[in-house]
Amino acid sequence: MEAKEEGFIRKVSFSRVTFPERILKAYGYDLIKDTMMVQQLSNNEVFIIGRRPLEQSEVPKPYPGFKFQGDHKVEDFQNYFEVVYKESVSNNYDIKLPKDFQVDTLSKITLCMEENREFILIEKATEKDSNRYEKIKDLKSEFGKNLQHFVGEEFIYLQAKAKSFRIPRLFRDRAGIRIGEKVRVIPVDSRRLLIAKDALICAVSGDTMDPIKQTGKEAIVCKECKKKENLSEVNEIIKLLSTIEQKLDQTSKQCMEYKKKCEHQCKENQLLKDENEKMMKRVGKVEDFLQSFQSLIGDDKNEIDL
């Protein structure tokens, strides 16, 4: 069956896909006790069978992207910042904000999680922002309580301002932010604030890698590899390690599939075993009946001979 509407983009984790509650409820599934009916169409396609038919107007639609993403990518921040605060990440992943930003008004939060940039932009929300974007609690019902089912490089939501800002798990997992670590809190202007990890110096090339402008990748290298003339060799090693990682990923997925097939086969074997035991009992009963019948015929013959 071909999809006539926009599809839902979801993360696949250990061969599992999680759907928002509103979709499952729309198709008549009970979230507590129901088992979903699924038909395998091909290696990469499955067909989920609903428990009740829907009119076209009732079919759930994908969550509109403009509710959590901007019209354009967040701007580049390349200028030198005059004021930079260093704040420690608390046990609750809270960051203390400068006094100028500790006002009880609505904020627009942008999580930038691109391949080359990782930072949080906090802005004073405009009336247009408040009419367009959603509060994070409303988005959690769609993407999970930790936003773990979101797929993308930019995520925007609204939040009431306070004395501190809690870094969402979606961002801190991608950026590798840990409790007790110090991060930069940078006022861009009177309306905007940046939160980002500190810039690092690449041990191989000696270049500065600032997550506001460019992120780097960790690699273990020997002392000799620090020399610039060996950079090409290091890059080849990194590419090789990346290829190995991808193949291990594929192998892991294949193992999960084989495990499922084995579990399915074990269930079928158990069913066959149970059927075989039932059949053996029936055969035993038939044999007992035949023996009794033969004994009865033998007694009748003896009586006739007499």
Note the pLDDT tens digit of each residue in 15-38.
677 777 788 888 888 766 667 777
Residue 166 structure tokens: 């809690």
Specify burial of residue 139 (Cβ count, 10 A radius: 0-12, 13-18, 19+): buried
pLDDT surpassing 70 at residue 275: yes
Strand-pair partners of 223? none
The C-alpha atoms of residue 306 and residue 301 are separated, in whole angstroms, by 9
**Opening angle at CA 40, ends 272 and 32, nearest 5:** 85
Look up residue 176 and give its DSSP letter: T
**What's domain 66-204's architecture?**
3-Layer(aba) Sandwich (3.40)
150: how many CB neighbours lie within 10 A of its CB? 19
The C-alpha atoms of residue 177 and residue 169 are separated, in whole angstroms, by 9
The C-alpha atoms of residue 78 and residue 74 are separated, in whole angstroms, by 12
Note the pLDDT tens digit of each residue in 173-195.
888 889 999 999 988 888 888 99
Q: To the nearest whole percent, how much of the chain has pLDDT over 70?
A: 79
Residue 171 structure tokens: 């961002």
Contact predicate 87/198, CB 8 Å: no
Between 95 and 228, where is the model more confident? 95
Listed by start position, the domains of the chain span: 12-62, 66-204
Strand-pair partners of 46? 40
H-run or E-run covering 106: strand 106-113
Q: Looking at this protein, which amino acid is placed at residue 177? A: I
Specify burial of residue 119 (Cβ count, 10 A radius: 0-12, 13-18, 19+): buried
The C-alpha atoms of residue 278 and residue 273 are separated, in whole angstroms, by 9
Q: Whole-model pTM above 0.85? A: no
Contact predicate 44/17, CB 8 Å: no
Q: To the nearest whole percent, how much of the chain has pLDDT over 90?
A: 9
What is the pLDDT at residue 303?
55
149 pLDDT band, cuts 50/70/90, is confident
- Return the biggest CA–CA distance within the chain: 126
